[in-house]
Structure 1
Amino acid sequence: MQDLSTIRFDRLKVRHLLLAFGIINVAIAILLISSGIDVNNKLFTPLSYLSSFLATCVWICYRCQQVGIDLLQVIGKPDRQVRWWQIIGLAVAGVIFSLASFIVFLGLISYLFPQFTEQVLVSITSRNSLTPSADDTPLDRLLVFLMLVVVAPLAEELIFRGVILHRWAQKWSLPTSVIVTSLVFGFLHINPIGISMFGLVLALLYLKTKTLWVPIAAHAINNFIVFCMTLQTPSATETTSLSLQSLQSNLWAGLVMMGISLFFLGRFIRRNFPVKQLASSK
């Protein structure tokens, strides 16, 4: 496997990446709106996401070439010795933990802020949601599938584990970078607790295998399970009514699922969390 410590990210700044991503997002939004696609159109979110992240990946490739970073070395090659059953198990445990933590967190919040909880549920199941709903057209589902299962794993792993993890590891330390990138990754999603935990697992998978293809695969499996779970999502009104009545009564089930999934995720994290820099990672 390649020595990841030899990759220098000093000239590739995270703030430049964020600035480029922001400019690309604004430009894509303007292009979509000027082409006649309304912001409230179901196609707007997946088209905007796909275009923005693919364009950002192109910018990363161009910038890495400019500063002399070998992206092929960053990405690495798949190792035949990778235990794919373990990768699938971690992806499944990540889905369970994310779902359970969301149920527990939202259930607890519903005691104090029931109206806020209802608004969250409506926003999740609205026509602008990133997940498909039962009345979507085949084109809607195809675009969401490409967004969740193909582009999101490739682009987000390249950005967070391939670039930001390395940059912050050289700026601070590897353990700090692993934690901070996982938290940033989580808080950019609607379920920060569950996604931060999964982001931590993805970072450790990358450091353990020294290839981005493994966290990309785990990410894709995780998102594919979520995509399949949401194919038969009912309407926003039905989901809100059902959830508000059942969230609190299902808190115990969420806690049990959290405990079971956390046992497997926690064991993997304890065994693989880095205590040294990339050169000493295994």
Structure 2
Amino acid sequence: MEDDCAFPLKSRYVFLALLFASIIFVILSASLNLHLYWQGAADGMLFYLVAGMLLAALIVWRSIPLMAAMQDPSWTDYIAGFKLSLFSVLFSIAAVYVFYYPLSFWLPDWVSNQLLEGPDITYDYRDGDSFVPNTLSFAAIVVLAPIVEEIVFRFLLLHRWADKWGGLGAAIGSSVLFAGLHTDVIGSLMFGLCMCALYIKTGTLFAPIFCHMCNNLLAWLYSYGAMVLSDLDQPYTLQDFQSEWYIGVTCGVIALAWAYRFLSQQPAYTSILSEQLPMR
């Protein structure tokens, strides 16, 4: 059956590129046989580099007009992106408590594994050098991840699926997939929808990339600050998470008030996903 979509790259090729990137990443990571000190810090960097190169090859092969979506945003777009980043962080913190707090009493082992035993964002070696692994972590999380993920979810998949299901269906589909790849499912889903709306509103992929970078930077700095202030003799526990429920409530109240005020001032955002995507 002939493909009748206008966007010249099928989503299956995007998924295949990411699958091959994962396979190549696993092989390279095992082949390099890095010391445990380096492994966690280097893995993220390695995966996004491999994925970025395969996606770049796809874009060149299919002549995807990526640069047409890379127009320079205005200063108001940058400011809006930074404000949206602050909102996303607050909403994500609240969403973590909404999702994991009740589960922490019913499924404590699973929640501990998800929240406390997952991959490190920052690395604390007080008896050794932490500069290199934290530099690699910063580059992967704050620089590479936003670029690769925005190209995948807010450009390639969003445009392809918009031809099939319209802007709203594409935004929901790409955001659900984006959220499924992150620990904070609710917060990531909202973040994905916000990034879709920001891209459609501004007409440039630079805006969501900048916003994503700001969001990840705030998360990285929060993790780094918590690491510096932590007591290695008394690690953070599930009971500590449960006792800090008020943090989630506070962030939730601020995020809801912020969202209400923003949508009252920018009512166009409530229907932005039904508009045409840039470049169409």
TM-score, L = length of structure 1: 0.83
CA contact (8 A) 2:200 2:277 kept: no
Judged with a 3 Å threshold, the aligned counterparts in structure 2 of structure 1 residues 280 and 89 are, in CA distance, closer, same or farther, namely: closer
Match of 1:70 in 2: 65
Which residue of 1 is the match for residue 114 of structure 2? 120
- Equivalent residue, structure 2, for 1:110: 104
1:131-146 to 2 correspondences below 5 Å: 131-135=121-125, 137-146=130-139
Q: In the alignment, residue 256 of structure 1 is paired with which amino acid?
A: T
Please identify, of 136-145 and 47-56, the stretch whose mean Cα deviation from structure 2 is larger: 47-56
The amino acid across from 1:226 in the alignment is: A
| Aligned pairs for 1:195-214 within 5 A | 195-214=188-207
1:261 positional shift: 0.9
76-85 or 186-195: which moved more? 76-85
**Which has the higher mean CA deviation after the structures are superposed, 162-171 or 175-184?**
175-184
Paired residue total: 264
Q: Is the 8 A contact 1:21 1:52 kept in 2?
A: no
TM-score relative to the length of structure 2: 0.84
> How do 1:180-219 residues align onto structure 2 when only pairs under 5 Å count?
180-219=173-212
Structure 2 CA distance for aligned equivalents of residues 205 and 262 of structure 1: 19
More displaced 10-residue stretch of structure 1: 246-255 or 131-140: 246-255
> Counterparts of 2:144 and 2:277 in 1: how far apart (Å)?
30
Name the residue aligned to 2:140: 147
* C-alpha distance after superposition, 1:8-62 (max 9, x if no partner): 31x4111111012111221232123223336882344223323233223323322
Shift of 1:91: 0.3
Partner of 2:256: 262
**Candidates 197, 216, 221, aligned match of 2:214:** 221
In structure 2, the gaps of 5 or more residues are none
Distance 2:83 2:30 in 1: 41
Aligned runs of 1:1-282 on 2, under 5 Å? Answer: 8-9=6-7, 11-37=8-34, 41-65=39-63, 69-73=64-68, 75-80=69-74, 82-124=76-118, 129-135=119-125, 137-232=130-225, 233=227, 234=230, 238-241=234-237, 244-265=238-259, 267-268=262-263, 271-272=268-269, 273-274=271-272, 276-278=274-276
Shift of 1:207: 0.2
Contact 2:198 2:208 in 1 (8 A): yes
Identity of aligned residues (%): 26
CA contact (8 A) 1:20 1:56 kept: yes
For residues 235 and 184 of structure 1, the distance between their equivalents in structure 2, rounded to whole angstroms, comes to 37
In structure 2, C-alpha distance between the alignment counterparts of 1:237 and 1:17, rounded to whole Å: 45
Aligned partner of residue 76 in structure 2, secondary structure: coil
* Aligned-partner Cα distance in 2 for 1:99–1:51: 29
Long gaps (5+) in structure 1: 1-6
Over residues 189-225 of structure 1, what are the superposed CA-to-partner deviations in whole Å (9 max), with x where a residue is unaligned? 1111111111111110000000000111100011111
How well do the aligned residues superpose, as a CA RMSD in angstroms?
2.7
Are 1:132 and 1:231, in contact at CA under 8 Å, matched by a contact in 2?
A: yes
Q: CA deviation at 1:87?
A: 1.8
Q: CA deviation at 1:114?
A: 1.8
